[in-house]
Amino acid sequence: MKQFNVPITYRSHLISAIKNKRRTQDKLKKDFTPTFLDFGSLHIYLARHFGFCYGVENAIEISFRTVEENPGRRIFLLSEMIHNPLVNDDLKKRGVQFLMDTHGNLLIDFDTLTSDDIVIIPAFGTTLDIGNKLKSIGIKIEKYNTTCPFVEKVWNRAEAIAAKNYTIIIHGKPKHEETRATFSHSASNAPTVIVNDMNETIELAKYITREKPLNLFYEEFKGKYSEGFNVEKDLQRIGVVNQTTMLASDTQAIADYLRQTIITKYHLTEENIEERFADTRDTLCYATYENQSAVYGLLKTDADLAIVVGGYNSSNTSHLVELCKEKLPTYFIDSAERILSQDKILHYDFHNKTEKETDNFLPPKNPVKILITSGASCPDALVEDVINKLLSYFPVNKTAEETIAKFA
């Protein structure tokens, strides 16, 4: 895989050594068992896959190179490049300004932009309307476009099934930048509707089966369907794509549910299902799949707690937290600074979107066993910081640096 030039401060000697060793031992990426770090009184189990993905490293490289190559020019990011506060703050310190917040609210009026300005499109992509607006100003967005190729793959998949007259069902978070972009591209080619989860999918299916009055659709799915959507005819042939960072199991369950609904409604068989339901393969990106699979492998380990590191508004990270929370106490933090002491941790509750403090999060036992992973937009350096912070609370038999020798 291509090697990207990202700031050295985002790298970790420890994590790089571990990842390189595991990569050499498991070239086909079929081993999802965690990496065991034995520090004596502290046992740490690192997920097989975690941290920066292809799309994130590509976006970071383009963004920092753009700053270096264009001294004196105004440089803007359309919105957060990735969902990690450290990376976004680093870009701000280098003079990059943000045009919108993560929800799409304007921070700087587009009317103040000129054709000499640079606007970097984030890894999530952007809507056709925003892209056209920037082009009309004379801004060359293609040159500074960091849209993840796996997001573009979803757009291409949606376009392909739209060409066969299927309506597009997007499994995604309606307010997320990527889903807004995917919706825009999909809606330009076909009727499109977004479902956030299985509950919404079940309700959508009731309009396919006519269990619910069709006129209720427009209120129930307000803001989630494309202009001119005709609920009576546009749910007769459908295909499912997704926001690339959703839980793979959720997307599969949603596709299976809608598929069975169509089979039942139209009395179809496996042989003729494509008359009404598009054969779309999974559109999760490789990193999302690998990171989630690695967490399933991680959770087979007997442990006391899990720590997940990443930006609080990171969708893929929140899903890793979800998986861990099903089995054991899990703490979602964005940096080692959230570990306040051996007795206290400040962590994020993404359901309520609030931080909360938990006492005595480290159990009084020997050894303490901790599972650790991170999201696709989290620098490895932050994970090493967390490991070092935890080590400072235990009488350990070796340092993180000494552990590197094991993986040399």
Q: State the burial class of residue 354 (Cβ atoms within 10 Å of its Cβ: 0-12, 13-18, 19+).
A: exposed
Q: CB–CB of 59/82 below 8 Å?
A: yes
C-alpha–C-alpha distance, residues 338 and 342, integer Å: 11
Identify the residue whose tokens are 């099934």: 161
The length of the chain is 408
Classify strands 344-349 and 354-359 as parallel, antiparallel or unpaired.
antiparallel
Burial bucket for residue 257 (CB in 10 Å: 0-12, 13-18, 19+): middle
178 included as an active-site residue: yes
Question: Which stretches of 188-314 are DSSP H helices?
Answer: 198-208, 217-220, 248-266, 286-298
Query: Of the residues 178, 200, 290, 322, which is catalytic?
Result: 178
Cα 281 from Cα 251, distance rounded (Å): 11
**What is the DSSP code string of 353-393?**
TEEEEEES-S-SSSSEEEEEEE-TTS-HHHHHHHHHHHHTT
Question: Which two structure tokens, joined as six digits, stand for 164?
Answer: 């066969």
Could you give the C-alpha distances from 62 to 15, 70, 135, in angstroms and in order? 23, 12, 19
> Across-strand partners of 40?
none
Task: Give CA separation, 319 vs 207, 332, 353, in Å.
Answer: 29, 11, 14
Active site residues: 178
